[in-house]
Structure 1
Amino acid sequence: MSETSILILMRSAPYGSSAARDALDAALTCSVFEAPVTLLFMDDAVYQLLKNQSPAGIGQKNLNAIQQSLPLYDIDRLCVDQSALSHRGLSEEQLSLPVESVDAAAIARLMAEHTHVMSF
Structure 2
Amino acid sequence: MPKSLLIISRQAPWSGPNAKEALDIVLAGGAYDLPIGLMFMDDGVFQLAPKQNATALQQKNLMANLQALSLFGVDDVYACHHSLAERGISPTSLAVDDVQALSADEVRILIDRFDQVITL
TM over 0.5: yes
Identity of aligned residues (%): 33
Match in the other structure for 1:64: 63
Q: Aligned partners of 1:93 and 1:107: how far apart in 2?
A: 19
Q: Aligned partners of 1:96 and 1:37: how far apart in 2?
A: 21
Cα displacement (A) at 1:3: 4.6
- Which stretch of the first structure deviates more once superposed, 12-21 or 28-37? 28-37
Q: Aligned partners of 1:58 and 1:45: how far apart in 2?
A: 17
Match in the other structure for 2:109: 109
- Which stretch of the first structure deviates more once superposed, 17-26 or 31-40? 31-40
Note if contact 2:9-2:41 (Cα within 8 Å) is conserved in structure 1.
yes
Note if contact 2:31-2:73 (Cα within 8 Å) is conserved in structure 1.
no
Match in the other structure for 1:99: 99
Counterpart mapping for 1:9-24 below 5 A = 9-24=8-23
Consecutive unaligned residues in structure 2, runs of 5 or more: none
Whichever residue aligns with residue 31 of structure 2, its letter is V
Note if contact 2:81-2:91 (Cα within 8 Å) is conserved in structure 1.
no
Other structure's SS at 1:110 match? helix
Match in the other structure for 1:74: 73
Whichever residue aligns with residue 73 of structure 2, its letter is D
1:38 matched to 2:25? The reply is no
Whichever residue aligns with residue 75 of structure 2, its letter is D
How many residues of Structure 1 are paired with residues of Structure 2 in the alignment?
A: 119
User: Runs ≥4 in structure 1, deviation > 6 angstroms?
Assistant: none
Q: Aligned partners of 1:36 and 1:16: how far apart in 2?
A: 28
Deviations 1:44-93, CA, capped at 9 Å, x for gaps: 01100011211112211111111011101001111110100111121012
Match in the other structure for 2:4: 5
RMSD: 1.2
